[in-house]
Amino acid sequence: MKKLLLSFLLLTSCFSVACECPPLAPMSSIIAKVYDVIFYGSIDSVSACDPKGKAIAYFTITELYKGNVVKYVPLNFDCASECLMSFAKGEQWLVYAKYEKFDFLKVTLCDHSRKKFMDATQDIYQFAAGRTFEDEKLFLNKTFGLQQFIQENSLNKQQNEVGPKNQQPSAWGKLILLLVSLSAMGLVYFFTRKK
């Protein structure tokens, strides 16, 4: 029985995967060039995890250090894999984000983004960052200064109201399109075959 249990544990341990991030160098002006947007802000709300393992955290930016964004910004993040991020309403973060697509910012666990802890002894990011949360804010403020938010224009408002238009038809819609296409091809074949 012990051998069977040991074999089972060895086999299952081969399949368990943990998120492996490369070691992070402390933030510098050179490393900051990789990020499109850097800010300090708080989380207003977090969406549910969708079937693709993605979710959105909605932030209100308090201090913008780098990038051109509006004051209220959504961030896409992984919520299902072994490298998932955990956001909760009311948390304060220093966010280092990259554009995933036009106007869609994304953060990942293996980047420099860090949460502000009320008790500094719980700050798990301090070891990798080489500085406290407040020291990193001061560094960013000194290096980049505070940037102005872009104003949300009417085009952005329309885009937010309408939403993305790259949507797939439902399963029944696809079936109907397939049947119509096959019928049209059958008619073309029938009329070209007679001539």
pLDDT band at 8 (very low <50, low <70, confident <90, very high): very low
Measured CA to CA in angstroms, residue 167 lies from 53, 164, 173 at distances of 18, 7, 12
Question: How many C-beta atoms surround the C-beta of residue 185 within 10 A?
Answer: 10
Spatial CB neighbours of 89, under 8 Å, sequence gap ≥ 6: 43, 44, 45, 46
Q: Does some domain include residue 121?
A: yes
Q: Does some domain include residue 85?
A: yes
Q: Does some domain include residue 47?
A: yes
Q: What is the pLDDT of residues 146-194, one digit of tens each?
A: 999 887 665 556 555 655 555 667 788 888 888 999 999 988 888 888 7
Q: Does some domain include residue 180?
A: no
Q: Does some domain include residue 192?
A: no
Greater model confidence, 81 or 42? 42
pLDDT band at 55 (very low <50, low <70, confident <90, very high): very high
Q: Does some domain include residue 100?
A: yes
Q: Does some domain include residue 195?
A: no
Provide the number of structural domains found in the chain. 1
Q: What is the pTM of this model?
A: 0.69
The 8-class DSSP code of residue 16 comes to -
Judging by beta carbons within 10 Å of its beta carbon (0-12, 13-18, 19+), is residue 2 exposed, middle or buried? exposed
**3-state DSSP assignment of residue 66:** strand
User: Domain of 108?
Assistant: 34-150
Q: What is the mean pLDDT of residues 60-70?
A: 94
Q: What is the mean pLDDT of residues 42-58?
A: 93
Contact assessment for residue 93 and residue 114, using Cβ atoms and an 8 Å cutoff: yes
The domain that holds 131 is classified in CATH as 2.40.50.120
Q: Does some domain include residue 144?
A: yes
